[in-house]
Amino acid sequence: MDFFDINKIFFTTLGYPMSYLEFFGTVAGAVAVWLSAKGNIWSWPIGLINVTLFFFLFYQVQLYPDMFLQVFFFITNLMGWWRWTHPAKVEEDRKHELKVSYMSRKWLVVFLVIGIVGTFVFGLLAKNLHEIFPSLFGKPSAFPFADSFVTVMSIVATYLMVQKKVECWAVWILVDAVACSLYFMKEIKLVGVEYVAFCFIAAFGLWNWIKENRSYQTNEP
């Protein structure tokens, strides 16, 4: 079980001790996100490795909302894998996978409200976790509301990604920008650097999925 201990160091670079847990979790996450931006189905199984490792990582640095988020990600990676490979006939693209599409304005407002309310409610819970469950959470949650924003909006973005909605990447850009600052402040620096890179990958994903959606009209008879 030493592999899952953040104090078990893999190597040290520029004075920063890199744990096995942070290194391999970060690499798996980077590969999974890049494949998602490309619309590649293998993003989902590789994502399962990433979220499993990050569950243990975030518990040890007291980012509890992020820890719970990994459980959600594990489930949605399985759902996304199924959804992309089993679309209805009208939803199929040229590879017989789920088409990229846009969400309606009505649902955009609904998810915005969910994000605001969810951040407030989850933030209150995270702030008091160490008092409600002292045997499980020995220290107070770090940055409960900012961390809860990352958690709630990641849930929103992941649901939209499962449905292959273009807007998921705009949400991811915002989430990744907030998340990278949290990780630098908690001194899990490789994860912080990864999330800076994720901002750029999300921008590429947004551009690529818009281009993919436009190609459907171009190829229509």
Q: Which residue type does 13 have?
A: T
pLDDT, tens digit, 9 for 90 and up, residues 65-81:
788 889 988 999 999 99
Domain span holding position 106: 2-218
* pTM (2 d.p.): 0.78
Mean pLDDT for 15-31 is 88
At 30-67, the pLDDT tens digits run 899 999 999 899 999 999 999 999 999 888 888 787 88
Q: For position 83, what pLDDT does the model report?
A: 92
- CA-nearest of 178, 156, 176 to 168 is 156
Distance from chain centroid for Cα 123: 18
Q: Can you read off the two tokens belonging to residue 36?
A: 């998602």
Contact partners, residue 29, CB within 8 Å, separation at least 6: 47, 50, 54, 194
Give the pLDDT confidence of 168-217 residue by residue, as tens digits. 999 999 999 999 998 888 887 878 888 899 899 999 999 999 999 898 87
Residue 194 phi/psi, 5° resolution? Answer: -60, -40
CA-to-CA separations, 172 to 112, 121, 122, 217, in angstroms, rounded: 13, 21, 19, 26
Res 218: pLDDT: 65
Q: Going by C-beta distance under 8 Å and a sequence separation of 6 or more, which residues neighbour residue 54?
A: 25, 29, 66, 70
Overall average pLDDT of the 7-23 stretch:
84
**Domain total of the chain:** 1
Neighbours of 19 (CB within 10 A): 22
What pLDDT shows up at residue 92?
82
